[in-house]
Amino acid sequence: MKKIMKNFTCVNDIENLQNAVKEAIDVKKNPFAWDTLGKNKTMLLVFFDSSLRTRLSTQKAAMNLGMNVIVLDINHGAWKLETERGVVMDGDKTEHILEAIPVMGSYCDIIGVRSFARFESREYDYNETILNQFIKYSGKPVVSMEAATRHPLQSFADLITIEEHKKTAKPKVVLTWAPHPRALPQAVPNSFAEWMNATDYDFVITHPEGYELAPEFVGKAKVEYNQRKAFEGADFIYAKNWSAYAGDSYGKILSKDRAWTVDTEKMALTNNAYFMHCLPVRRNMIVTDDVIESPQSIVILEAANRVVSAQTVIKRMLEAM
């Protein structure tokens, strides 16, 4: 029996990954087979941060299920929101999130929320303060469209993509850090690690010293500081930048070393691995033009599977209503 999906924020919200992937493949084959499931239901997508893929794929997924969709960009047209209790609101914030969230909940049946790490405090980010306020106060099922610590719709799409392309039952999957000019959150690598650790793949994480992810996300993964060694025999290379997690370095850039850029010479060490990245990607920082344009690059298919992961999740929520 399927677990009733109240919220979707992490891998634990999907009880049986294999069944979920099978269901996702069915959804992909027949995207309009459930086009009346969401009739007269409304999906509200709330963005505190920018997006291309998540914005479009989640709308498309909800529309495939027959839902109405509303999109709200908090920073473009909405009132500026205060998020802390106890603040005297005599500044530029017009509305408190504790009124805004239940109001938003009253206009829809499911809410998607995107709210990145702010890097002001690791505790605030890792407590998922914004996402949890939506879960607590909206009164509606909440889908994380990337929160401070995880990006589960992306990870689910990544898993579907690997399952579609793998040539062995237990592929070697390598998550590699790569350089970037700006400090990025750990949400994508955390989440990818969490989902890979829920499979029986041979999963390796490689990064420069100082870029260790939180232990609860590293889990049973092998950590290899030598990127070339990690690439040897890999079936999938998943590149991503992230900023430091540890202690006082939290949210900081420790290196922009382009020796970590994924290039053809390093890909030659692999078992003709597929190249993956969640996008958007900085070419010739994270990955060279040659690699991302090569036949082994599956980044576009991976992005296309964002519709499939979102539709599978929203379908499960609608079925539970």
CB of 178 to ligand CP, least distance (A): 15
Q: What is the DSSP string of 6-54?
A: S-BSSGGGSS-HHHHHHHHHHHHH-TTTTTTTTTT-EEEEEESS--SHH
Footprint of ligand CP on 131-170 (CB under 6 A): 146, 154
Q: How far is the CB of 59 from ligand CP (least distance, A)?
A: 11
Q: Based on CB atoms, which residue is closest to ligand CP, 70 or 98?
A: 70
Give yes or no for residue 51 binding ligand CP (CB under 6 A). yes
Is 53 near ligand CP (CB under 6 A)? yes
- Sites for ligand CP among residues 76-105 (CB under 6 A): none
Residues 223-282 that bind ligand CP (CB under 6 A): 278-280
How far apart are the C-alpha atoms of 70 and 237, rounded to whole Å? 36
Q: What part of residues 280-319 is at the interface with ligand CP (CB under 6 A)? A: 280
Under 8 Å CB-to-CB from 257, ≥6 apart: which residues?
A: 179, 208
Task: State yes or no: residue 52 binds ligand CP (CB under 6 A).
Answer: yes
Task: Please state the closest distance from residue 306 (CB atom) to ligand CP, in A.
Answer: 7
CB of 53 to ligand CP, least distance (A): 4
How far, in Å, CA of 99 to CA of 104, rounded?
9
Q: Which residues pair with 44 in a beta bridge?
A: 70, 111
What string of DSSP letters covers 188-241? HHHHHHHHHHTS-SEEEEE--TT-PPPHHHHTTPEEES-HHHHHTT-SEEEEE-
Of 37 and 279, which CB lies nearer to ligand CP in the complex structure?
A: 279
Contacts with ligand CP in 188-227 (CB under 6 A)?
none
- Measured CA angle at 251 (ends 191, 281), to 5 deg: 60
* Cα(202)–Cα(194) distance, integer angstroms: 13
CB of 161 to ligand CP, least distance (A): 12
Smaller CB separation from ligand CP, 172 or 299: 299
Which residues lie near ligand CP (CB under 6 A)?
A: 51-54, 146, 154, 278-280
